[in-house]
Amino acid sequence: MAKVARQSAGEVRWLRIEDKRLIAPFNERAFALSVMNKPLSLIQRDAVEDVLGRGRFREGEAIAALHAAPQDSTPTLVHTDSLFFDTPYLKAFWAAASRRDRPCQAAFRADDRAYYTYAVPLTRNLVRDRHRREGDIYRVPLWYFPRGVPANWDGSQADPIVISSDYREVGYYSVPEYMSVELGDLVHLLPMRSMLSIESWAHVYYANVIFGIFAIGGRFEKRANEAGSSGCASCCAPCSNRRRCSPAPSWCISGAARTSTLRRHPGSGLHRRQRDHRGRLGHHQQHPRQQHQPRPELPGVPQRGR
């Protein structure tokens, strides 16, 4: 019995349920549409490979419905082929599902603003349910069966695993003031874990932009803030720069620094926070190229101040 358990835990069957609806105006199935310059099928495969590991899963043939899955005891991961999810989302689901001994299904709470705003409208695969323990939730077509898919299974008996989007509010780049007077600031709700059931062209846009590139940037900013990165180079020991180096205009050095022939770009913070090797603030000597040069006089054009 122990040997069978080790074999089941070592290999997971991965199945996808066909969603044969065509997405207008592309006239293609969601399975074949491009998300961030990749087909959705490749996005799914990359996430499964990142979470389960290469060689730890076996992809099966596409099935028409959940009850059409092979009847055996192999641990099985199943989802619709129109479901978009990234690695952080699948990792959160797998971390909870792999510890359970019962069939389970991904879900999110109805008051999760990011999923409710972008994922719920125009979809039929996200089913609303009132669970006795989790409350008002939406069930996601993503299941895990530790002992294979039972016979005549419709998926509604699975234990829900509630996954939060952990969204962040990020404002628009430039919005006129009259557009946000009554409703407050206009913001994007960027999830830290992206999931969408692609069933319309709007979902394709959300998967590429808000739940795609914007969400990746939001996760990067969150990691940078947690690491304390503020765009300044600082360390306990005095910072030393190589000769004739040109730092970026957005860089600044806080703390002790040894600089020799350092080219300072206009707008950089080096001249404001530069210190010597003893930690004392030094006087900024402007580079000759940055010194003020009088404007050339043009014939027939009056000069300012004259």
What's the pLDDT tens digit per position in 23-41? 999 999 999 999 999 999 9
Split at pLDDT 50, 70, 90, the class of 169 is confident
pLDDT, residue 240, reads: 53
Cβ–Cβ < 8 Å for 108, 138: yes
Cβ–Cβ < 8 Å for 103, 129: no
- 8 has a pLDDT exceeding 50: no
pLDDT, residue 271, reads: 44
pLDDT, residue 67, reads: 85
Averaged pLDDT for residues 129-156: 86
Q: Could you read off the pLDDT of 225-264 as tens digits, one per residue?
A: 887 654 444 444 445 555 556 655 555 555 555 555 455 5
Averaged pLDDT for residues 74-88: 94
pLDDT, residue 170, reads: 84
pLDDT, residue 73, reads: 87
Averaged pLDDT for residues 261-286: 46
pLDDT greater at residue 281 or residue 89 = 89
pLDDT, residue 173, reads: 66
Lowest mean pLDDT across 47-61, 148-162, 174-188, 270-284: 270-284
pLDDT, residue 232, reads: 47
SS3 for 47-74 is: HHHHHHCCCCEEECCCECCHHHCCCCCC
- What phi and psi values does residue 46 have, to the nearest 5 degrees? -60, -40
Averaged pLDDT for residues 68-83: 91
Q: Which two tokens stand for residue 244?
A: 């004739």
- What phi and psi values does residue 143 have, to the nearest 5 degrees? -125, 155
pLDDT, residue 87, reads: 95
Strands, E, within the chain: which ranges?
Answer: 12-17, 22-23, 28-29, 34-35, 38-39, 57-59, 76-80, 83-85, 104-109, 127-131, 135-145, 159-162, 168-171, 187-190, 195-197, 232-233, 239-240, 252-253, 257-258
Residue extent(s) of CATH 3.90.550 domains in the chain = 2-225
Could you give the CA distance from residue 240 to residue 93 in angstroms, rounded to a whole number? 46
| Other C-beta atoms lying within 10 Å of the C-beta of residue 294 | 6
Split at pLDDT 50, 70, 90, the class of 71 is confident
Mean pLDDT, the chain, rounded, equals 78
Lowest mean pLDDT across 71-75, 255-259, 269-273, 297-301: 269-273
Averaged pLDDT for residues 42-57: 91
- CATH hierarchy code of domain 2-225: 3.90.550
164 burial via Cβ count (<10 Å: 0-12, 13-18, 19+): middle
pLDDT, residue 302, reads: 59
Lowest mean pLDDT across 2-11, 168-177, 245-254: 2-11
Could you give the CA distance from residue 144 to residue 163 in angstroms, rounded to a whole number? 14
Best mean pLDDT range from 154-158, 176-180, 302-306:
154-158
pLDDT, residue 270, reads: 44
Q: Could you read off the pLDDT of 177-233 as tens digits, one per residue?
A: 666 666 666 788 999 999 999 999 999 999 999 999 999 998 988 888 887 654 444
pTM of the model: 0.70
Split at pLDDT 50, 70, 90, the class of 2 is very low
